[in-house]
Amino acid sequence: MAGPGKGEFPVLEATKPNLVSLAAAQFLFAVDDGAGNAAVNAVLGGPSVGVIQNDPAANEATSLMVYGISKVVAGAAIASGALVSSDASGRAITQPGVAPNHQLGIAWEAATAAGQIISVLLTL
């Protein structure tokens, strides 16, 4: 990665291996698959190990931002300052009121629709 882009401020980054291609997963919340590999978070409100920063093919290192301000794909409209969690596709949503209910960050800016890329202050 060539350094932080607009709306990013990396504080702590890490890498994890992955078994499947994550080429379409840049800026989605990631989880550990239980075997030490990165995978896209597939649990509504579930925990996360970071936000995927690159677009790795299968068996390439996955770059994760663990703490800082990261770009994240929105899964719905989000107000600036809202507490965010992950939807079942790894995208940021306003923190749901149902369990599991892991707060993953604070929206640094608003999203008006799903698919927009916003900045999120990570609080994993």
Reduced 3-state DSSP string for 55-107: CCCCCCCEEEEEEEEEEEEECCCECCCCEEEECCCCCEEECCCCCCCCCCEEE
Q: Give the pLDDT confidence score for residue 43 in this predicted structure.
A: 94
Q: Give the pLDDT confidence score for residue 2 in this predicted structure.
A: 41
CA distance 56 to 64: 11
97 neighbors 45 (Cβ within 8 angstroms): no
Residue matched to tokens 């990570």:
122
Q: Give the pLDDT confidence score for residue 3 in this predicted structure.
A: 46
Could you say which residues of the chain have pLDDT below 70?
1-6
- Domain extent for 23: 1-124
Q: Give the pLDDT confidence score for residue 1 in this predicted structure.
A: 36
Q: Give the pLDDT confidence score for residue 36 in this predicted structure.
A: 95
Q: Give the pLDDT confidence score for residue 9 in this predicted structure.
A: 79
Q: Give the pLDDT confidence score for residue 10 in this predicted structure.
A: 78
Number of domains in the chain: 1
In terms of Cβ atoms closer than 10 Å to its own Cβ (0-12, 13-18, 19+), residue 67 is middle
CA distances for 1 relative to 52, 61, 62, angstroms: 12, 12, 11
